[in-house]
Structure 1
């Protein structure tokens, strides 16, 4: 009986000790690992033009140290891998964009928690091509009428419909496949031109082509939204948030710089204010701070 009682007493003491350790304030516990966040995409994700450049990225990518993904990561203590690169197309998700730069999808795996990207605007040179075509057409027409719309409306819509949209679906499906456990958000593009025909400071495009340039971007953003819905990707709607902050607005109001700008190295791209606002929209889409 004494032996049995001793065992019972020892057991009671052990249980008490375990309970005590479990309730000691500040008992040592492993801190949770930071969420793994990967930023993919083109120059709007890279923040090309916003200084300073990120020292860890290829110089050819013109990746900013203050782009929206880095802002979101710093605000939340995330472990960020940023492979965004200026000039990237959807094809660069799958293959190397330039020497020393891996396919962007190589940054993804089963352990990634968050993924964001903007992509599609460079496929078939859609963004830069449309802007340059409209500048050339406007100058050639003496800034009268809507020469860019007359010459390029059908081809731009066809490119988005037949090339950009299926490319976006392929790219987004690949992201979902490579990072199956991640919350994934695609950013659309903040407005470059407002939805009206009017002169625009810093944009040497015929006033009559204002609505056309806006419509091309609207068709691209719509393709991004449809591809996201089809593939189960969230949308960070920076276009909606940027209404009233297009490149035609004054410095300090606009989120995107016009063609003629002294504010940064790369025109027709988000400025530092734009990247900060894109960060806020992205955080909301991901349900984080």
Structure 2
């Protein structure tokens, strides 16, 4: 299965102002690209954004938006080449096998975009391997499964792209600490998932960006303050996922965590 060809980055109109309002410092503007080739891997938490701004040529079931955090980050960093392979419902197995769904051709194995000259890789992955409904009550066995599978993903990225800075992200916070809304309540599962992903990144030579730590922007907050949608979004974005402001925050947080080169 051939992967879609990396594309030159189009001009993006992004909500940088929304990200600038956070406590994460914006990355400095540089005249030369900090990274030359950036590959984004992951599930819907990386893929989605505005439902009316899907990336041309991408499978519709992936819901891969032109204002998701990989696209915003690529614009911020002014990378020369950018390949976004993220896709809704992706699991770790879809790094090496095609992913199929309704609407469009299969999404190629996400690892197909990795090359020896890739110098930046972001990864948001793992929740679908245990079933998203289980994330809030994640068990020790499920944590071990994530450690093994996501750890293997990170190892293979290093093998295929040995020059790359590899970044693993947490998932945005869905509930206020100890609170809840829309019939859902914080049971500590997201914190345990975040701790598991952090330990996995540390054990497999990846940088970890803890976007879960940010509070006051979960799906229980009012429109304009929330970075995560509830079941009925107030904007043209995906229910129970990051909205455009949330994706802009993710991009800014990752950019601030990257090394100077």
The Cα shift of 1:245 comes to 0.8
The Cα shift of 1:260 comes to 3.3
From the superposition, tell whether residues 104 and 228 of structure 1 become closer, same or farther in structure 2 (CA, over 3 Å): same
Cα distance in 2 for residues equivalent to 1:46 and 1:278:
12
Cα distance in 2 for residues equivalent to 1:238 and 1:104:
23
**2:99: which partner in 1?**
97
Give the unaligned 5+ runs of structure 2.
1-31
Q: Is the 8 A contact 2:220 2:226 kept in 1?
A: yes
**1:268: which partner in 2?**
240
Give the unaligned 5+ runs of structure 1.
1-30, 132-148
Cα distance in 1 for residues equivalent to 2:230 and 2:172:
13
**2:194: which partner in 1?**
221
TM-score between the two structures when normalised by the length of structure 2:
0.79
Cα distance in 2 for residues equivalent to 1:285 and 1:169:
20
Within a 5 Å distance, the mapping from 1:63-82 to structure 2 comes to 63-78=64-79, 79-82=81-84
Within a 5 Å distance, the mapping from 1:138-153 to structure 2 comes to 153=137
**1:236: which partner in 2?**
209
**2:119: which partner in 1?**
113
Structure with bigger helix share is: 1
Q: Is the 8 A contact 1:204 1:259 kept in 2?
A: no
Cα distance in 2 for residues equivalent to 1:121 and 1:48:
18
From the superposition, tell whether residues 44 and 195 of structure 1 become closer, same or farther in structure 2 (CA, over 3 Å): same
TM-score between the two structures when normalised by the length of structure 1:
0.72
What number of residue pairs does the alignment pair up?
Answer: 225
Q: Is the 8 A contact 1:124 1:159 kept in 2?
A: no
**1:52: which partner in 2?**
53
The Cα shift of 1:262 comes to 3.9
Q: CA RMSD in A?
A: 2.3
Alignment of 1:286 with 2:258, yes or no, is: yes
Q: Which structure has the larger Rg?
A: 1
